[in-house]
Structure 1
Amino acid sequence: MMSEPAVSTPDTTPLPAPAPAKLVDVSSLTLEGLTRFVSEQLGERAFRSGQIYRWIHQRGATSFDEMTDLSKAFRQKLKERAEIVPLVKDLEQRSVDGTIKYRFKTRDGRYIESVYMPSEDRKTLCVSTQVGCAMACSFCMTGTLGLKRNLTPGEIVAQVHTVNREVRKLENLETWRPLSNLVFMGMGEPLHNFENLKTALSILQSEDGPNFSHRHITVSTVGLVPMIERFGQETDVKLAISLNASTDEQRSKTMPVNRKWNIAALMEACRKFPLRQGRRITFEYVLLRGFNDTDEDAHRLIELLKDVPAKVNLIPYNENPGLGFQTTMEERAEAFREILAQGHIAAFIRQNRGRDIAGACGQLANRGGEGEGKATQAPELP
């Protein structure tokens, strides 16, 4: 007797819902990249990209609903396929000298800081490029955090847009872009996040964006030698080098990067750096009492810089608790500057801004914020 064929029971387990398509962060795109997205992925006419770009990077729009010259249907399509990554002001601290430190919270709960420094002839913003820093310079509070992650181009640029908006309200200004100068000297090593930095610079310098002049943007590095060459070839803004020592022994004690690229390698990269006519490399030299501020240090510094178009910013150390360094006294700083001047080195003692709010050079560490928790593993240096 033949048995009846087995009847399989259909699987009624519901299929998992498809993963939602990842939204495109349009605030991190150059105008060229945004045009490709609008034309190729959204099927819209290319000129729409210029409208979106100007809303974000000239007017500082943070939502598509603000873009009133776009149809409601197009705005809805943008909401479904794209986003403007938010950067939320979490804390504002004001110094007696007029400096304002802003703490921003990212979408993933990280904290970064930017510092606004107004003066009679300019309005400068110190911009961060990373959450934390992998360079571990022993006199810098940011270095105690370790590197958590790189900032996206949109997050770098959003600091500028947000502070523009804050300054416009604070000072009752009509201009969309009250900031005049940008210095990339905040949290992080800019050349360690080079691709995102380069995209952010392209946006910040674009005519359809904030339109900052290359003369008014300075990027500082601790000395990632291979990236200095790329920086000179692929951007046109000003370079600042955090030198902070006159010997390899000193520099390696305080700046671990020197163990990979010593002063000789760094100075060779500076000699090869392409400079526009009349432009000089700025060398930042943090004066640490009894460590790097002697007459001998000044004379060695003259020798190091003798064949490099250079100016030196002498920075009296901003003391940080627990790091074991003290600031150089005013008389010693002036004597150091005078020796450099006699050696035909243009040198200036930089006024420290925002010390009372931990907003000065080397003090950005998000006390009570990102100082808690573990750092992610730092990516390999180039």
Structure 2
Amino acid sequence: MSLSVPASPAPAAEPVLRPASLVGRTRAGLSDALAEIGVPEKERRMRVGQLWNWIYHYGVRDFSAMTTISKVLRAALAERFTLDLPEVTAEQVSSDGTRKWLLRMPPVGARDRGAEIECVYIPEVDRGTLCVSSQVGCTLSCTFCHTGTQRLVRNLTAEEIVAQLMVARDRLGDFPGRTPPEGAFVPNDGGRFVSNIVFMGMGEPLYNFDGVRDAIEVISDNEGLSLGRRRITVSTSGVVPQIEALGAEMGTMLAISLHAVRDELRNELVPLNKKYPIRDLLDACRNYPGLSNAKRITFEYVMLKGVNDSDAEARELVRLLKGIPAKINLIPFNPWPGTRYECSDWDRIERFSEIVFRAGYASPVRTPRGRDILAACGQLKSETEKLSARARLMLEQSEAEAAALAS
């Protein structure tokens, strides 16, 4: 087999900083943009409302479509800003309808070459859930999680978080007047394709508190994207000092990545536990603002064969959660290349669930989705490293062949 010999690689070009996009901005951010182009303060509130409606309700991608705004203002906006979404560099569709997008964000500075992150859309009969990322990479190093094997690069901005929802709705035809792609799941109630958001993608949301808070402000605004805060779930591995603030400032549903009932084991599975042990974490949960039977905390528990799946551990889980309005999601472990863990046998998962259910807790077993495209829970990891590795291998092979031909 012959390989083409590439020219010597040129030095990496400096990233081209494009005009800033208005997509993802809060109302205050849009007001600041209008101030930049000289819109008088007394009319900014009205103009913000117009922009908000066109960007978030209709999902327009061109200022020229904003027919309620004067041509002069549209031209001024187009000269200074864009309505660009992140670039979709890859899209995978699972056999079960799950969709995973690899998104490249525009550079945010002279040294930034554009971060890549993943988000996943999971269609179900009664809802469509978008799993969004809050960081590029992750710093927690949970041993069962594929994403945790990637180093943390940076926090995502609020605009970049909101943009994930905008991309999903754009690709799914989930804005007024749009057509869904062939083969897409269509909601049977005539509702929106994306009805729920979970912050369960790449990163720890409470280590990007301000970005997540500002993104939720945009997502939950009832004049735009209109997702109620009870349809938004923020999942944390246990950043105890921020849990109360999450409830007070964001008012979303809370999910806790628990996965173990003993500190010794949780220290291994979720190293953050060494800083915030189980007792401190559960105390913070008991004090979560707005906690009630109508606003229960979801405890996520990944089922690892021979590690955390015994009857004794199920009973201890029930004891630990006593007095906390809770639902317990049992998650069959989703394998990924290089992991040392296995998924619990199905009869073991069912037995564990039965013990929890008989104690009075809802204990659904989460149906694995998107396993065939590594989009299931715990499997998200940016393609950047894998793509770079392939490119280096091809270059090395070509260079080796060139050297052989020259000898």
Q: TM (normalized to structure 2)?
A: 0.81
Separation (CA, whole Å) in 1 of partners of 2:19 and 2:63: 13
Asked if 1:116 corresponds to 2:121, the answer is yes
Q: CA deviation at 1:113?
A: 1.0
> Superposition pairs for residues 56-95 of structure 1, below 5 Å?
56-84=55-83, 86-95=85-94
Classify the secondary structure of the residue corresponding to 2:300. strand
Task: Tell me the matched-pair count.
Answer: 353
Task: Name the structure 1 match of 2:13.
Answer: none
Q: CA deviation at 1:165?
A: 1.8
Separation (CA, whole Å) in 2 of partners of 1:190 and 1:92: 24
Asked if 1:325 corresponds to 2:321, the answer is no
Classify the secondary structure of the residue corresponding to 1:347. coil
Classify the secondary structure of the residue corresponding to 2:153. strand
Task: Name the structure 1 match of 2:238.
Answer: 223
Structure 1 stretch displaced more, 50-59 or 197-206 = 50-59
1:351 to 339, 360, 367: 367
Name the % identity: 42
Separation (CA, whole Å) in 2 of partners of 1:276 and 1:241: 14
Q: CA deviation at 1:252?
A: 0.5
Separation (CA, whole Å) in 2 of partners of 1:172 and 1:361: 20
Q: CA deviation at 1:156?
A: 0.9
Asked if 1:196 corresponds to 2:195, the answer is no
**Contact conserved, 1:177 with 1:210, CA < 8 A, in 2?**
no
Separation (CA, whole Å) in 2 of partners of 1:62 and 1:130: 25
Deviations 1:292-316 (A, max 9, x none): 1111111111111012111100001
Asked if 1:291 corresponds to 2:290, the answer is no
Structure 1 stretch displaced more, 341-350 or 66-75 = 66-75
1:150 to 146, 151, 155: 155
Task: Name the structure 2 match of 1:11.
Answer: none
Task: Name the structure 2 match of 1:378.
Answer: none
Task: Name the structure 2 match of 1:43.
Answer: 39
Q: CA deviation at 1:215?
A: 2.1
Q: CA deviation at 1:370?
A: 6.8
Structure 2: 5+ residue stretches without partners? 1-16, 108-113, 174-179, 390-407
Greater fraction strand: 1
Task: Name the structure 1 match of 2:404.
Answer: none
Task: Name the structure 2 match of 1:18.
Answer: none
Question: RMSD of the TM alignment (CA)?
Answer: 2.4
**Contact conserved, 1:85 with 1:154, CA < 8 A, in 2?**
no
Q: CA deviation at 1:117?
A: 0.9
Asked if 1:236 corresponds to 2:259, the answer is no
Q: CA deviation at 1:23?
A: 6.1
**Contact conserved, 1:130 with 1:190, CA < 8 A, in 2?**
yes
The higher radius of gyration belongs to: 1
Are the structure 2 counterparts of residues 357 and 342 from structure 1 closer, same or farther at C-alpha, using a change threshold of 3 Å? same
Task: Name the structure 1 match of 2:12.
Answer: none
Deviations 1:246-288 (A, max 9, x none): 1000110111111110101100100110125421100000011
Classify the secondary structure of the residue corresponding to 1:348. coil
Task: Name the structure 2 match of 1:376.
Answer: none
**Contact conserved, 2:261 with 2:313, CA < 8 A, in 1?**
yes
Structure 1 stretch displaced more, 225-234 or 59-68 = 59-68
Separation (CA, whole Å) in 2 of partners of 1:317 and 1:180: 26
Q: Which amino acid aligns with 2:158?
A: P
Task: Name the structure 1 match of 2:199.
Answer: 184
Task: Name the structure 2 match of 1:268.
Answer: 283
Asked if 1:126 corresponds to 2:131, the answer is yes
Task: Name the structure 1 match of 2:298.
Answer: 282
Structure 1: 5+ residue stretches without partners? 1-20, 374-382
Deviations 1:83-102 (A, max 9, x none): 44531111111111111111
